[in-house]
């Protein structure tokens, strides 16, 4: 299979890599993660100026009309830079959710601001008891007058405290019955929203989000469809959005893995033991060769995920995404652990970027379903 990129795609990758190399060095990142928002608004605007935030926005709404391959290239560059900004949350998941579910009027109102970096939106979807079952949503939307009342609890919401807009996934409810899935666009200052902010192990600002009798107008539901019409379309669209996010995070992992391998090889060349660089020790060469094999397998599966994440055949798409997450999850764990061990005790210090790559890869292995979860899922599909 030909994995070469078009001229435009290669330019996108080169431009993003140059920006990260110039504006997002490790010392700069250390300062960024201590800012109140946990990321840099200046860098975010820089992404907007480069057009990176517009990739997943249709051209008719001020975007570039790109797709999973363009997203893959950007995410790999961001992964190499350990970027803390909410690119996955806002520029991928939220932008694609609005594009897929919103009416023409809603897209016109929301997408240009997302593409220009004027607003940040996040998809409030994960819940404490779902355990990787994305359809097991307990948050409810109860009809009341000319709108809905939302109740529920969303868990580990990346950048939830900084988001201007929350795209809340719910089940429409009536007379105590669970209904079809719906997504509501809820402004951050809506009464009844309660947040508990914290920082995840990989340095990403996140929060728990409670919706305590949050009233929103009917127009806040993306698509403005009735409970009768919303079921199949919203379920299918959200599945595609989440698979696009999974493909994006696989690409981010590959970028981080490449950078971690390069740092480990350089350290092995510089570190001397018994008067010789440890890179000359055959046992350590074998370890680094195994790291290379894992990364190349992960790269191929990231390409597969990008190609298959929009496949209309749900079963084929699901199998491809699970296969990619298994291989990439295993690579995240193996390469991360080997890098830390080869660096010794300094590999877990906060002053060295290796420890931050290790923690980010550990988090990626768990996001959108762990490797173990997807292995079981893939095996069940084969059975």
List pLDDT tens digits, range 138-153. 999 999 999 999 999 9
CA–CA gap between residue 259 and residue 145 (Å, rounded): 54
Query: What is residue 3's predicted lDDT score, i.e. its pLDDT?
Result: 73
How, if at all, do strands 147-158 and 140-144 pair?
antiparallel
The domain 233-382 is placed in CATH, from the list 1.20.140.10, 3.40.1000.10, 1.10.10.10, 3.40.50.2300, at 1.20.140.10
Q: How far apart are CA 369 and CA 318, in angstroms?
A: 12
What is the value of pTM for the model shown?
0.94
User: Partners of 165 in the beta sheet?
Assistant: 121, 187
Return the bridge partners of 154, or none: 209
Spatial contact of 198 and 235, defined as CB atoms under 8 Å apart: no
Q: Where in the chain is the domain with CATH 2.40.110.10?
A: 123-226
Residues of the chain with CATH 1.20.140.10: 233-382
Classified by CATH at the fold level, domain 123-226 comes out as Butyryl-CoA Dehydrogenase, subunit A; domain 2 (2.40.110)
CATH 1.10.540.10 residue spans of the chain: 7-119
CATH superfamily of 7-119: Acyl-CoA dehydrogenase/oxidase, N-terminal domain (1.10.540.10)
What is the reported pLDDT for 129?
83
Residues of the chain below pLDDT 70? 1-2, 174-178, 224-232
Instruction: Please give the pLDDT value at position 189.
Output: 94
Contact 253, 301 (CB under 8 A): no
| Per-residue pLDDT, 227 | 45
pLDDT at 232: 59
User: How many C-alpha atoms does 97 have within 13 Å on its Cβ side?
Assistant: 29
């Amino acid at each position: 299979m030909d994995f070469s990129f078009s001229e435009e795609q290669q330019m996108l990758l080169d431009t993003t890599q140059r920006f990260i190399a110039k504006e997002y060095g490790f010392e700069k990142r250390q300062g960024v993660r201590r800012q109140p928002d946990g990321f840099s608004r200046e860098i975010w605007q820089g992404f907007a100026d480069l057009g990176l935030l517009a990739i997943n926005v249709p051209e008719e709404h001020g975007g570039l009309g790109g797709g999973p391959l363009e997203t893959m290239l950007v995410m790999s560059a961001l992964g190499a830079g350990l970027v803390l900004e909410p690119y996955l949350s806002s520029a991928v998941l939220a932008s694609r959710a609005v594009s897929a579910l919103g009416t023409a009027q809603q897209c016109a109102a929301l997408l240009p601001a997302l593409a220009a970096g004027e607003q940040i939106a996040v998809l409030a979807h994960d819940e404490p008891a779902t355990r990787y079952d994305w359809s097991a949503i307990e948050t409810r939307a109860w009809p009341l007058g000319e709108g809905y009342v939302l109740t529920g609890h969303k868990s580990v919401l990346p950048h939830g405290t900084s988001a201007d807009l929350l795209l809340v996934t719910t089940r429409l409810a009536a007379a105590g019955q669970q209904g079809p899935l719906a997504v509501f666009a809820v402004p951050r200052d809506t009464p009844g929203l309660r947040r508990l902010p914290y920082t995840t192990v990989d340095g990403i600002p996140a929060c728990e989000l409670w919706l305590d009798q949050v009233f929103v107008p009917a127009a806040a539901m993306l698509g403005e469809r009735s409970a009768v019409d919303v079921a199949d379309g919203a379920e299918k669209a959200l599945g595609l959005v989440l698979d696009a996010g999974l493909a994006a995070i696989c690409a981010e992992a590959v970028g981080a893995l490449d950078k971690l391998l390069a740092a480990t090889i350089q350290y092995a060349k510089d570190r001397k033991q018994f008067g010789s660089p440890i890179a000359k020790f055959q046992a350590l060469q074998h370890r680094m060769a195994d790291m290379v094999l894992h990364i190349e397998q992960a790269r191929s599966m990231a390409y597969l995920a990008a190609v298959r994440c929009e496949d209309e055949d749900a079963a084929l798409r699901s199998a491809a995404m699970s296969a990619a997450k298994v291989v990439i999850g295993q690579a995240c764990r193996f390469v991360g652990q080997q890098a830390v061990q080869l660096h010794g005790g300094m590999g877990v210090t906060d002053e060295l970027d290796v420890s931050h790559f290790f923690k980010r890869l550990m988090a990626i292995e768990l996001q959108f379903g762990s490797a173990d979860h997807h292995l079981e899922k893939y095996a069940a599909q084969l059975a």
